[in-house]
Amino acid sequence: MKNKQINLSPIPAVLLAIISVQCGAAIAKTLFPAIGAAGTATLRIGISALILFVVYRTNLKKITAKQWKIVIPYGFSLGAMNLVFYMAIERIPIGLAVTLEFIGPLLVAIWGSKRLIDYCWILLAGAGIVLIAPWSNDRIDSLGVVFALIAGGFWGAYIILGGKISKIMNDGDAVTTGMLFAALLILPFGFFGNGLNNLTPELLGLGTALALLSSAIPFSLEMKALGQLPPRTFSILMSLEPAAASLCAFIFLQEHLSFYEILAVAFVIIASVGSTLTAKK
């Protein structure tokens, strides 16, 4: 009976991971007024690194020179992705930020392809960006849009480097070490921005919840699912991120999207699912 409560099938595991991450993003946004985007990112990544070191007990002395050459940039891309993403959602709704950020993984998935169908997915995703773009500058912050796209670029780099490091290093050690370097990258921004000077026990508690929801819990759920699901199925499920982000932001932050912004989210989701379904093996 106990095992039945613990065991979770892979598809619900991925869906719970997605919801966990987006709930974490909603919590992060509530911390911005007190400690800022950089302070929030520092708190999340720093606590996540501590949690992962306690769980995996990684021995840094055993990491080889070949592994260091990839795990360090992997960690920096992870840190930069989170920092710039938080700077984006400080200025624009979470649903739009995740939609724009998702362009990074989408381009990685179809990079180098010369097939017509893949160009169609690019055009569809591009149409989504056009719908979100702040042409009139009356509602959407232009800098927030730029930050979200930059975060997408770092997400793409994170995927490529993560694929490389996974071939030469244990998953737990790779994520733990990468998170350490992500924390080292972000730490100066958190202190120089004076956000961490305003820490209180309550904010520290919220930061711990953020670290669990955005890192520890989803990482564990995704690792469980990846061992049981085909990569294509996993990718299709992850394509629901923009929709989940919009829903969580609406429930927890009352962030409303316009019709065209909802259409943009739908375009990017369709492009992501389509590129996954039509991808070469």
> What one-character DSSP code corresponds to residue 90?
T
Bigger pLDDT: 185 vs 239? 185
Contact between 222 and 14 (Cβ < 8 Å): yes
**101 Cβ neighbours under 8 A, 6+ residues apart:** 85, 88, 148, 149, 151, 152, 155
The domain spans of the chain are: 11-222+229-278
SS (H, E, C) 32-83: HHHHHHHHHHHHHHHHHHHHHHHHHCCCHHHCCHHHHHHHHHHHHHHHHHHH
Give the pLDDT score at 65.
92
Give the pLDDT score at 122.
80
**CA–CA gap between residue 185 and residue 179 (Å, rounded):** 10
Sign of the CA dihedral with 95 first, then 98, 102, and 103 last: positive
Q: Specify the residue for token string 């989701």.
A: 269
pLDDT at 5 over 60: no
Contact between 272 and 159 (Cβ < 8 Å): no
Give the pLDDT score at 195.
66
pLDDT at 184 over 90: yes
> What one-character DSSP code corresponds to residue 136?
S
Tally Cβ neighbours within 10 Å of residue 204.
12
- Give tens-digit pLDDT for 25-77: 888 998 888 888 988 999 899 998 998 888 888 888 888 999 999 999 999 99
Residues 86-114, mean pLDDT to the nearest whole number: 84
Tell me the CB-side half-sphere exposure of residue 136, using CA atoms within 13 A. 3
- Give tens-digit pLDDT for 216-269: 788 777 766 766 777 667 777 888 888 888 888 888 888 888 888 888 888 888
Give the pLDDT score at 7.
62
- For the chain, percent of residues with pLDDT exceeding 90: 19
Give the pLDDT score at 218.
85
Give the pLDDT score at 280.
63
pLDDT at 2 over 70: no
Q: Specify the residue for token string 């995704």.
A: 222
pLDDT at 101 over 60: yes
Bigger pLDDT: 248 vs 163? 248
pLDDT at 110 over 80: no
Helix/strand/coil for 193: coil
**CA–CA gap between residue 166 and residue 75 (Å, rounded):** 13
